[in-house]
Structure 1
Amino acid sequence: MTIVEGTCTARFEPLRAALTAHLASCEELGASIAVDVDGTLEADLWGGHADAARTVPWHRDTVVGLWSTTKTLTSLAALVLVERGVLDLHRPVAHYWPEFAARGKQDIEVRHVLAHTSGLSGWEQPFTVDDLYDWPTASARLADQAPWWEPGTASGYHMQTQGQLVGELVRRASGRTLTEFVATEIAAPLGADVQIGAREADWPRISALVPSAPSPAVPTDLDPDAVFTRTMLGSPARDEHVDTPRWRRAELGAVNGHGNARGLVRALSVISRHGEANGLRLLSPGTVDAIFDVQADGVDLFLGVPVRWGVGYALAGPPTIPGLPDGTICFWAGWGGSLVVMDLDRRITFAYTMNRLGAGILGSERTHDYLAKVYEAFGTPASRAARQTGLST
């Protein structure tokens, strides 16, 4: 019998049942789910196994690589600096990073980087994973690169470059690395079990990610000048790099965060609760409101699906992901299905992490099932747009 550990209130028993069912079917290997409702952790669930051989249980403090859900922490770090007046969303990036002005980028603003509209969605080739691991090299290459489209006119998901761009801004503005800033200004004060990279002392409790199928090769017949092609080829991190010592020691603010659902909820509930969580105010309501200033609304040049980008996060609204209603909601997902949702109308924060990767861009079918159960607990159906489009990527 599959056992899901942890606790939940009565209204989230269907969520526990959904996790139990996915574990029993072996679609899920190991996972954690958490739901915070206005400061109360109403669901804190975990179960399954932390290894592909199913010999090590997923424990309460098991953590896992987050892939792009890492960006939710990196964006929060930038917003904390905005709150403190150290970063200005409407100032040019070059104000903080003078070298960035090269090749016509002098007018790109901080908000463009946070909203994936800067035109720097990948590195120009050749660019290797060794270059990615070397912070000065990766930053210098972006500073010397021309944008691939007119900044501010459209989004093109900065799959792996956003961590470098925002991370360099954090370094320049705060004098600390992104890893240090997240650890000292977000994780520690909020009691959140999250980090960029992974401290070696935590390696024994990391559950390795398990691809559901071999990573598909990049097709050879793509338009070499298309944003999708250039972004894919200019984003060198792949499944085989994850869970290696070099990966864990690196600072990749777009992709190599580690944590679990409880940790993500403790960190990101500061947004859902209008700037204050766990007795600490990190953001003013005005800074939180800035997240919802729409920066792009249309088909993303890399993702190929419609996305409404605010500042640092995607925004709910037609079209959206299955299970997510309309409202004052921001979110982002990671490769394989991890997800964090911040719902300011209902003061809900939902997070899901797992070790078996599922298919899809904005969450997997498992992700959408869990999310739907959360909103069903409030009697809130998925948005009409989500039901009509059935967006599952």
Structure 2
Amino acid sequence: MNQKSKQAATIYGTTETGFEAVKQLFTQQMQTLAEENTQLCVYHQGKKVVDLWASKTQDPNFNADSLINVFSSSKSLEAIALASLVAKGLLRYDAKLCDYWPEFQGGGKDDVSVADLMRHEAGLANFDTSIDLDDLLPQGIKANCVGKTIEQQRQHFRALATGKREYHAITRGWIANELFRRVDPQGRTIGEYLKEDICTPLHADVAIGLDDSGLERTSDVKLLSFGAHILASFRPKIFGRKVLHNFLQLAARMLKILPSLKSSSSSQAPAPITGMTSIGIFNDKRMRKGETPSANAHGSARGFARIAAMMAAGGNLDGKAYLSRAAWQAMHQNPVPAKMGGVIHTRFTQGGVDQFLPIEKSSPLLERAFNEGREGFYGWMGLGGSIFQWHPEAQIGFAFVPSSLHMLDFLNERGKLYQAEVLRCIDQLPKSQTLT
């Protein structure tokens, strides 16, 4: 963080009656934590009830409509895209990818189903070659530049003894995009579909693949370094600790997660993108214009929360259906419990979103850290902090979009604080303020 980040953040935006505690928490976190540009937006029962943003660096170009990369929170967008094909009867989750994409066969991939891919069980968590940035532009994708690379890959599981589920951090989106454009009657990419069928008609400021006007509104993501995060964890919370966890809490999480990361297949694989040496490549204009659906969607919290509100309402918002009820239900069906990489217990549905459930207080640390405070939500989260999720039962659409990446906050617990506060606020609302 630079010197400007030491300034107090001015909090902008509004909260509806009953949600004032969310603004209080946002103000506290922005004044204390190592944040830079941050947005938080929440819908309840189709109405926007929280709309907050702040820049600790006093960035004059940052506002509620600035666009930030949300990394793996993007994965829920590709899940929506594939669900739209299910809605039209063009795709089945239990079908094999090669049924729609014959060239996908070979290398042990013949029996990989759509559900396998969406549950991170395709055995393709990494490729044996890097993808060029130019090949990720829509014209490169449609020329089969990425598809040809995927067709040549061999299935590989890190260790079947710990299960097939290994995080397809970037590759799931590339594969899903190739599947989508082959099945979509118009031959569109996922980014093109989202723009035409979801984001534009829904008035949601979100995109996979930015145009020139979008590029002008982006806010760079910045990494809080490993050393800075560790050092900050030694400061007591009462003295303004700039990270969520103290050193002992952080160490307990690191001891469980880091060994798994070191032993993953990605540790021996080439960089997923040619020339990728750091997270900074995601601030590159060419990267922003290309389509990496699993890790490179840009949007505002307002935009993501609006999509989440639509999903919380079963695919409808403001009287318009964006996803059929049958497709919405199919996307959320058959959550299968399994440990991701043998460490984090996930419950991915056949449509590719995780389900967060209440757990026992005696559950292991990571189980509690992952679920407590976001019980009832579906969706996923992004590297360093972002959260894009929906809660069908409570009818919540939630989006937290920070530019400061806390990579050692492995389970996005700083954003989870807002989810827990929103749930508390809704639980305390008078019945006259909630729909029946």
Question: Once the two structures are superposed, what CA deviation does each residue of 1:2-26 show, in whole Å capped at 9, x if it has no partner?
Answer: 3321111122211111111122225
1:109 equivalenced with 2:157 (yes/no): no
- CA drift of 1:123 comes to 0.7
Distance 1:75 1:356 in 2: 26
Q: Which residue of structure 1 lines up, in the alignment, with residue 309 of structure 2? A: 269
Structure 2: unaligned runs, 5 residues or longer: 1-7, 230-257, 360-366, 429-436
Q: Kindly tell me: are residues 230 and 173 of structure 1, through their superposed partners in 2, closer, same or farther at Cα, counting changes over 3 Å?
A: farther
Shift of 1:129: 5.0
User: How far apart are 1:233 and its partner, in Å?
Assistant: 4.4
Identical-residue share of aligned pairs (%): 24
Alpha-carbon distance in structure 2 between the residues aligned to 1:362 and 1:377: 26
TM-score, with length taken from structure 1? 0.85
**Is 1:284 aligned with 2:324?**
yes
Q: Take 2:204 and 2:316, find their aligned partners in 1: how far apart are those partners?
A: 14
2:167 to 148, 153, 157: 157
- 1:143 pairs with 147, 151, 154, which one? 151
Q: Say if 2:50 is the partner of 1:10.
A: no
Aligned to 1:79: 83
Superposition deviation, residue 267 in structure 1: 1.5
Three-state SS of the structure 1 residue aligned to 2:338 is: strand
Deviation at 1:56, TM superposition (A): 2.2
Amino acid at match of 1:235: P
Alignment of 1:177 onto 2:171: no
- Residue type of the partner of 1:180? E
Q: How much has 1:197 moved relative to structure 2?
A: 2.1
From 246, 249, 273, the counterpart of 2:289: 249
Work out which of the residue numbers 9, 34, 47 in structure 2 matches 1:40: 47
After TM superposition, the structure 1 stretch with the greater mean CA deviation from structure 2, 247-256 or 226-235, is 226-235
Q: 1:38 Cα deviation (Å)? A: 1.5
Which residue is equivalent to 1:385? none
AA partner of residue 272 (structure 2): S
Q: Which 4+ residue blocks in structure 1 deviate beyond 6 angstroms?
A: 221-225
Which one has the bigger helix percentage?
A: 2
Aligned partners of 1:117 and 1:296 also within 8 Å? no
Contact 1:323 1:369 in 2 (8 A): no
Aligned: 1:336 with 2:339: no
- Contact 1:29/1:354, CA 8 A, preserved across alignment: yes
2:346 pairs with 286, 294, 307, which one? 307
Amino acid at match of 2:216: P
- CA separation of 1:354 and 1:232: change in aligned 2, threshold 3 A: farther
- Letter aligned with residue 347 of structure 2: R
Question: After superposition, what is the alpha-carbon deviation per residue over 1:288-340, rounded to whole angstroms, capped at 9, x for unaligned?
Answer: 222333353121127x311111121111124362543533x312000111001
SS at match of 2:194: helix
Displacement of 1:131: 8.2
Q: Secondary structure of 1:206's match? A: coil
Offset, 1:92: 1.1
1:211 to 203, 214, 223: 223
> 1-side partners of 2:51 and 2:262: how far apart?
46
User: 1:13-24 to 2 correspondence within 5 Å?
Assistant: 13-24=20-31
Quick one: which amino acid aligns to residue 305 of structure 1?
I
Unaligned regions of 5+ residues in structure 1, if any?
Answer: 381-393
Match in the other structure for 1:118: 122
- Measured in 2, the distance between the counterparts of 1:165 and 1:81 equals 15
CA separation in 1, counterparts of 2:261 and 2:33?
A: 39
Contact 1:70 1:256 (C-alpha < 8 Å) held by counterparts: yes
What root-mean-square deviation, in Å, do the aligned CA atoms of Structure 1 and Structure 2 show? 2.7
SS at match of 1:47: strand
Q: Paired residue for 1:326?
A: 375
Q: Is the alpha carbon distance of 1:261 and 1:130 closer, same or farther for their aligned partners in structure 2, counting shifts above 3 Å?
A: closer
Equivalenced residue count is: 368
Supply the distance in 1 between the matched residues of 2:131 and 2:303 (Cα, whole angstroms).
Answer: 32
Cα deviation code 1:217-237 (max 9, x no counterpart): xxxx98999544458645345
Letter in 1 for 2:112: I
CA drift of 1:55 comes to 3.7
1:252 to partner: Cα distance: 0.8
Q: Say whether 1:186 aligns with 2:198.
A: yes
Residues 268 and 331 from structure 1, CA distance in 2 versus in 1: closer, same or farther, beyond 3 angstroms? same
Q: Secondary structure of the residue that 1:82 maps to in structure 2?
A: helix
Q: Which moved more, 1:281-290 or 1:110-119?
A: 281-290
8 A contact 1:333–1:362 mirrored in 2: no
- Which of 262, 279, 287 in structure 2 is aligned with 1:239? 279
Residues 77 and 186 in structure 1, CA contact (< 8 A), matched pair in contact too:
no
Change (3 A) 1:323 1:379: farther
Alpha-carbon shift at residue 64 of structure 1 (Å): 0.6
Q: Deviations over 1:122-151 (max 9, x none)?
A: 112x4255587453333222222221137x
Shift of 1:372: 1.7
Contact 1:7 1:44 in 2 (8 A): yes
